[in-house]
Amino acid sequence: MTKTFPGRTRKDPPHEVLRGIDLEIRRGEIFGIIGQSGAGKSTLVRLINGLEPVTTGRLRVGDRDIAGLPERELRSVRRDIGMIFQQFNLFRSRTVAGNVAYPLKVAGVKQPARDKKVARLLDFVGLLQRANDHPEQLSGGQQQRVGIARALATDPSLLLADEATSALDPETTQDVLNLLRQVNRELGITIVIITHEMDVIRRIADRVAVIDSGQVIETGSVYDVFATPKTPEATRFVSSTLRDRPSADTLARLRQVHPGRLVSVRVQDRPGFQTTLSSAFIKRDVEAEIVFGGISELQERPVGSLTFALTGDDGAVDNALSALRADEFDVEEHVR
Ligand SMILES: Nc1ncnc2c1ncn2[C@@H]1O[C@H](COP(=O)(O)OP(=O)(O)OP(=O)(O)O)[C@@H](O)[C@H]1O
């Protein structure tokens, strides 16, 4: 699908914000959408939610094609979608319980069924004791928990989280992500999480799409995108969280203390990875010293990269690198 906004004035050209978007989000998964500010993430959320019409193409939510649906039917699509936001968007004048009760009231749920449901939701998010407090008496993480309880009130099958942890500190972020995982695993709710932080994707998502300038430039399992990013943009996002590649400053420092050629090799989850790697150097009398690196685990498989200073005959180093590349090792030489 595509989305184009008209120019602000008649003279301004139309603004094509999303181009050729071709995505499938599967029922029951946690799907991450990552991109820089302005990439078009929020617009995509507004399309999925039926708040903005797509310009061309099709958009199916569940078993309904929502492109071109009349407002009345869109409302019923929206009832099946919960939303949480960066700034929580709670009513300040209502209590915690009042905030969670609100969508139920709108849906016509009468007391005492409403009170019962609110209590169950607050218990689920761990805030039953705070039911009568007002949002400003709660921490940011607790306010987002209220946001989650409110989003779940109408039993949606899809939850859209737009930068839901961007206003939170790292520890609180982890708590909220744990709660979202619980929502997904225990209640079977599909979650679409929009973020500019690769760390959030790494911690929670099953699959991810990287969007850049309104296009999906990469999509796949979180492991695959982390282990073998294919575009410079995805590589940048991955490095921002794994910190497994030396920065330009670090490279300059490494060059001062290590005489050899500096080469980074991406870690792969395959049997004999390390043996094959080291024997490629040993066989050719190339000395390979690890000078930088980071290996971590993702979905219980190793990811990361190792940077070597290679010393030996120049031709032998070239041979070793060619042999590794031929064996599908991802090798990057840091040329001066
Ligand atoms: N109603 C609109 N009319 C015209 N242009 C719009 C409209 N809404 C969004 N845009 C433009 O679409 C582009 C993408 O915006 P969007 O908010 O979707 O990006 P984003 O990836 O969510 O970024 P951020 O994280 O900063 O919100 C921006 O250039 C924005 O100016």
Compute the distance from residue 17 Cα to the ligand 1 centre, in Å. Answer: 7
pLDDT tens digits for range 116-152: 999 999 999 999 999 999 999 999 999 999 999 999 9
Q: What angle do CA 297, 199, 87 make, to 5 degrees?
A: 150
What pLDDT score does 259 carry? 87
- Write out the two tokens for 162: 């737009």
Q: Are 228 and 266 a contacting pair, CB within 8 Å?
A: yes
Q: What is the pLDDT of residues 245-265, one digit of tens each?
A: 898 899 999 999 998 999 999
Take atom 31 of ligand 1 and give the residue whose Cα is closest. Answer: 38
Q: Which atom in ligand 1 lies closest to the alpha carbon of residue 52?
A: 1
Global confidence as pTM = 0.86
Q: What is the pLDDT of residues 179-213, one digit of tens each?
A: 999 999 999 999 999 999 988 999 999 999 999 99
Q: Residue 196 has which token pair? A: 């500019």
Q: Which two tokens stand for residue 117?
A: 């449901």
* Domains of the chain with bracketed CATH: 3-229 (3.40.50.300), 243-333 (3.30.70.260)
CB contact at 8 A, 307 and 294: no
Evaluate whether 102 touches 150 at the Cβ level (below 8 Å). Answer: yes
pLDDT of the residue at 241: 82
Tell me how far apart the alpha carbons of residues 97 and 223 are, in angstroms, rounded to a whole number: 39
ipTM above threshold 0.85: yes
Give the distance (Å) from ligand 1 centre to CA of residue 209: 18
- How far is it, in rounded angstroms, from Cα 65 to Cα 71? 13
Q: How far apart are CA 151 and CA 147, in angstroms?
A: 6
